[in-house]
Amino acid sequence: MRIDFQTSPNTYRHWRLDFDGPVATVTMDVDAEGGLVPGYELKLNSYDLGVDIELYDAVMRLKFEHPEVKVILLESGKDRVFCAGANIRMLSQSSHTHKVNFCKFTNETRNTIEAAFEDSGQRWVAVINGTAAGGGYELALATDHIVLIDDNSSSVSLPEVPLLAVLPGTGGLTRVTDKRQVRRDRADIFCTLEEGIRGQRAVDWRLVDETVKASNLEDHLTGLTGDIASKSDRPDNAQGVALPPLAREFTDDGVRYSTLEIELDRDAGKASILVKGPDSDAPADAAAALEQGVDFWPLRLCRELDDAILHLRANELTLGIWEIRSEGDAARVLVYDALLETGLDDWFLREVFNYWKRTMKRFDVTSRTLIALAEPGSCFAGFLAEMMFAADRSYMFIGTEEGDNRPEANLTLTPANFGPLPMGNGLSRLETRFLGEMDSYSNAKAEIDNTIDAERASVLGLVTDSFDDIDWEDEIRILLEERASFSPDGLTGMEANLRFAGPETMETKIFGRLTAWQNWIFQRPNAAGEDGALLKYGTGVRASYDKKRV
């Protein structure tokens, strides 16, 4: 079964969207019979990947289709339960690969919610009625403000360790300590307490922001949302941009979009991704860009590349090498780049630019070898050059081949490459690249707006190497064959470690340290074995643990 990440509100089975001026309400009301695959019921607002696909779609529509929305209330449509977290039956029957991809996508959606105020001027408020357990509390943790109903039953918990022998899979441990700043010993108690914590104790421990009596909730939320909305810079009456279904063509050996062509070579374990530059000149200003709406080239590219990354991750598991090329007019790309850079005060251009930032972060945490190749006719310039710097290795073709009338490969750096598109570590990709070579970083910055050919790019350290027409084909072939011969597990661990040099942030902890441990624990017999906690949960039989510490 091909997992499709495209959906829309008229086909949602698990979420409702309601709008009241600057306030939107996102209601989680999971259809128990609406699992992505057969074999489990999504009881008590528990979720699987299908539920999260709809949530991500809702998050993106709130950004683009509803510029008037400044506050989002996240609520449950079920009595006495907020969310029971990831569905245990789903986890117990899923392959390890699916569990990892599920947790990664869920994490990325949580991060998008978390960055919504900085990126979009939208704040999320979780209203917890009943139980918020495991991933349900982790969903609330991603919001800016948590309101817990004070009714002697509503509670928050992270019971994965005592009940399931795994960890909270979407950043719960890290957000409790780093974001909520819960004291370490209290966090230890909380994460080993099956029944969770409620009422004033949850406030005192900073697990939630406040408790409110159910009888006062409506008035309290009116005041809270009004205060939050007054501090947002989103426009009151702007026209939104509808996000229709993507036009895609799937074949046995590839996928075609309007801005991308993907060729699949399963024998070589490789996906070749060709990014097509703009097919028309950039609009004159922000108003003209908004008029183009979903056809605005950078937005088209973001949507299609985002979908392509998710498709390849979930459905093409053995294609461990992604080869990234581009073709088009670099001068046109640079005009789009300048429009985005100078238009960040405009809500629409800001959303598009930050969508590119998030899409590049999705590249950064993808467990595939990324090889970028700049050949004659390429258009890696400005924000598009970030694809070169996101790659594990990058190579440029020197000059042109005889009979090839395409222009030689060049790079052009702009201010977009020096800060506004950070990785999860808070640094730009060039800062991360030149972490121990600040002179190299300064030299690269001095080249802003210059056309940099392959040999100059090698001298500046902007690419791994450059080759002429005599060596290009053999060097790239040897590189790809060597890469394909290595253990995928070893490469995944190596690449993830090397990509995130520099400072550790909450985001790198979640995708690096926490995810690595979670992935390992997911495979251990204590969790996933025949006598492990995931399979024994709900049976009335206790799990049998191997007591050795490793």
The three-state (H, E, C) secondary structure of 285-312, written as one string: CHHHHHHHHHHCHHHHHHHHHHHHHHHH
Q: Pick the catalytic residue: 68, 75, 108, 138?
A: 138
Q: What are the backbone dihedrals phi and psi of residue 327, each rounded to the nearest 5 degrees, phi first? A: -150, 145
8-state DSSP, 117? H
Closest CA to 500 of 510, 488, 485, 487: 510
Residue in 108, 160, 261, 386 annotated catalytic: 160
**Longest CA span, the chain:** 79
Q: How many CA atoms lie within 13 A of 541 on its CB side?
A: 10
Nearest-angstrom CA–CA distance, 439 and 84 = 51
The token duo for 298 is 């950078």
Helices (H), 446-524: 454-460, 472-485, 488-499, 506-508, 515-523
Please compute, for residue 503, the number of CA atoms within 13 A of its CA located in the half-sphere on the CB side: 11
81: left (phi over 0), alpha (psi -120 to 50) or beta: beta
Question: Alpha-carbon distance 513 to 394, whole Å?
Answer: 26
Instruction: Provide the b/e sequence for 21-50 (b: ≥16 CB within 10 Å).
Output: ebbbbbebebeeeebbeeebebebbbbbbb
Amino acid identity, position 329: D
Element (H, E) at 263: strand 260-265
- At 125, which helix (H) or strand (E)? strand 123-128
Contact by Cβ (8 Å): 451, 410: yes
Residue 73 is which amino acid? L
Annotated catalytic residue 195: no
The per-type count for the chain, helices as H runs and strands as E runs, is: 24, 22
416 in Cβ contact with 383 (< 8 Å): yes
Q: How far apart are CA 491 and CA 317, in angstroms?
A: 14
138 catalytically annotated: yes
3-class secondary structure for 390-450? HCCEEEEECCCCCCCCCCCCEEECCHHHCCCCCCCCCCCHHHHHCCCCHHHHHHHHCCCCC
243: enclosing H helix or E strand: none
Report d(CA 34, CA 12) in Å as an integer: 10
From CA 465, how far away is CA 455, in angstroms rounded?
Answer: 8
Give the CB-side neighbour count of residue 299, counting CA atoms within 13 A.
24
Active site residues: 138, 160
